[in-house]
Amino acid sequence: MSDFDGTITTKDGLYSFIETYAQKGWEKVEQDWVDGKINSKECLTEEFKLVPNLSEELISEFIRTLSIDESFVDFYKKIVEKNVDFYIVSDGIDYFINRILKKYGLENIKIISNHGEFRGEFFEISFPNDSQNCINNAGTCKCKVISDLKKEYEKIIYIGDGVSDYCAAGKADVLFAKSRLLDYCGKKGIKCLSYNTFEDILFLLAPKI
């Protein structure tokens, strides 16, 4: 399973969207989340309220500017050939994730994330995968997702890069980390494998799948 923003995408898409389109004040909301004053559900909800004229066209315009790690396409095709189940587990929003994947011809990937949809002129965000016990206060509690999937799978491999992945660290059987997640694992003494691209991961996984 893999995180999405900053892991599959080359930059954090949601952060970039808010940074590009939100009105003044979003930085304070973001900092409050970083400081632990609000949870990610509150952060996402408040930041999207600060985006004027939010529309499907605006999101489509933004998605055209996003790119993914090009080696992810080959990675995904090869693990599918090996009959390895793959999930995207994200504290982002499925409305964005599905459209970015479609841009690259990637469809029918299992996605566990927050949900977003337009209801008339309003963009509503809901959190079907949250948990009151999440140590990250995330909209999508990745530690709960891993715990649930461990009932179905013998081994869980997790790929991540950032703050929303902290609660997954130490719970996956194999952890691939970069950026802030790699730093976090180093500080906490959590065993992980460093990577830069999905090509690196495919090389390291080859003997295991």
Q: What is the pLDDT of residues 40-89, one digit of tens each?
A: 899 999 999 999 999 999 999 999 999 999 999 999 999 999 999 999 99
* Spatial contact of 91 and 144, defined as CB atoms under 8 Å apart: no
CA nearest to 54, candidates 121, 124, 143:
121
* DSSP designation for 25: T
Contact criterion met (CB below 8 Å) for 84 and 209: yes
More confident of the two residues 68 and 107 = 68
Question: What pLDDT sits at residue 209?
Answer: 67
Do 43 and 80 touch, CB atoms closer than 8 A?
no
Paired tokens of 171: 């719970």
Domain residues of the chain, as ranges? 68-208
User: Which contacts of 69-72 are long-range, i.e. CB under 8 A and separated by 24 or more positions?
Assistant: 69/7, 69/8, 69/9, 69/10, 69/197, 69/198, 71/197, 71/198, 71/199, 71/202, 72/8, 72/198
What is the chain's percent helix, strand, coil content, to nearest 5?
45, 15, 40
Instruction: Give φ, ψ of 113 to 5 degrees.
Output: -160, -175
Identify which of 189, 170, 165 has the alpha carbon closest to the alpha carbon of residue 178: 165
Q: Report yes or no on whether pTM surpasses 0.85.
A: yes
**Euclidean distance between the first and the last CA atom of the chain, given in angstroms as a whole number:** 14
pLDDT tens figures, 124-144: 999 999 998 887 788 999 999
pLDDT of residue 207: 65
Higher-scoring residue by pLDDT: 165, 135:
165
User: Among residues of the chain, what percentage have pLDDT more than 90?
Assistant: 84
For residue 7, pLDDT beyond 90: yes
Please state the rounded mean pLDDT for residues 6-30. 95
CB-based burial of residue 48 (10 Å sphere; 0-12 exposed, 13-18 middle, 19+ buried)? Answer: buried
Nearest to 11 by CA among 88, 87, 92: 92
- Binned at pLDDT 50, 70 and 90, residue 30 comes out as very high
**68-208 topology per CATH:** Rossmann fold (3.40.50)
Positive or negative: CA dihedral 183, 203, 191, 36:
positive
